[in-house]
Amino acid sequence: MSGPAARDTGPAQEAPAGSRAASRKTGRDIAEISRGGWRPPVFRKRAAIYVDGFNLYHSLDDLKRPYLKWLDIPGLMRGVIPRNEVLKRTVWCTAFKPTSRARQLRHAAYISALEARGVNCLLGHFVAHTHGCNACGHRWTAWTEKQGDVNMALSVLNDAHANLFDVAYLITADGDHAATARVLKQQFPHKRVVSVAPPGRGHNRHILDWCDARLSLTPEHVEAALLPEIVRGRGRTVVRPGVYDPPDLPRQRRHLTLVSSQ
């Protein structure tokens, strides 16, 4: 898969000054990441990707194209990071929301597909809160995700202490992760931090204050990096849920075959 500037032949570089944004805290230019040219493997920096799962999910859901949710996250990022970097680690933080059974099964299938691709999936949980209206007496239940932000923050900092990356990409527009970027940059000033805006989202200004560069994902990036219908790897086989079938592929009816052990 190739990124938006895959045919460049020059060295890996950042975007021109016209696409830069200045940090409010430091005054530094925060340049947009550019793909750049090829570099020998021995000189490539180690990149790690950290994904706020629900933040990315909601950005894809807003596009109203369900098939984009069957996303190959490592493949997506390999196509957009500079060529002088090699992707070494991908961490995806999410949680099972106790909603419909069909949604839970799709979520479980996607987790299995990502794990087959080598993604480290960290699961949190949801907590139910009961709310009510004093005027009319109506009551309802709201769900709040727990552990997602903490899992992502701890993964970033643990991996930094273990020296598993040179560049950390934070895929989120949630300002809560500004604290993650701040602590990482303060404790490891030599490591680069890149803000990655999900499709259709802007960069969070509080995260940008602690970043060295920024990268904006587009629907075109996502569409070029979808998982195949059947994902195999790490001893498992995962079939894409029918709701995620791309519109240009005909729907095929699958038949189950019962195999007797006798």
What pLDDT is stored for residue 262 in this prediction?
A: 37
pLDDT at 15: 45
Question: Is residue 3 included in any domain, yes or no?
Answer: no
| Low pLDDT (below 50) residues in the chain | 1-19, 125-126, 143, 253-262
Identify the pLDDT of residue 259.
45
**Alpha-helical regions (H) of the chain:** 53-61, 73-78, 101-116, 148-161, 178-187, 205-208, 219-223
Domain span including residue 201: 20-244
In a domain, 260, yes or no: no
Q: For residue 61, is it within any domain?
A: yes
The CB density around residue 194, as the number of other CB atoms within 10 Å, is 24
Q: What is the pTM of this model?
A: 0.77
DSSP labels, 213-252:
EEEE--HHHHHTTBPPSEEEETTEEEEPPGGG--TTS---
Supply the CATH number for residue 36's domain. 3.40.50.1010
Alpha-carbon dihedral sign for residues 54, 55, 56, 57: positive
Q: Per the domain annotation, does 82 fall within a domain? A: yes
The single residue listed with the structure tokens 């990096």 is 225
156 CB-near residues (< 8 Å, 6+ apart): 48, 50, 168, 170, 180, 184
- The pLDDT, as a whole number, for residue 244 is 95
Is 142 a member of any domain? yes
The answer as to whether 255 is a domain residue is: no
- Report which of 87, 86, 79, 83 is spatially closest to residue 10, judged by C-alpha positions: 83
Please indicate, yes or no, if residue 223 is contained in any of the structural domains: yes
Q: Do the domain assignments include residue 99? A: yes
Total domains in the fold of the chain? 1
**Which of 226, 244, 20, 2 lies closest to 114 in space, CA to CA?**
226
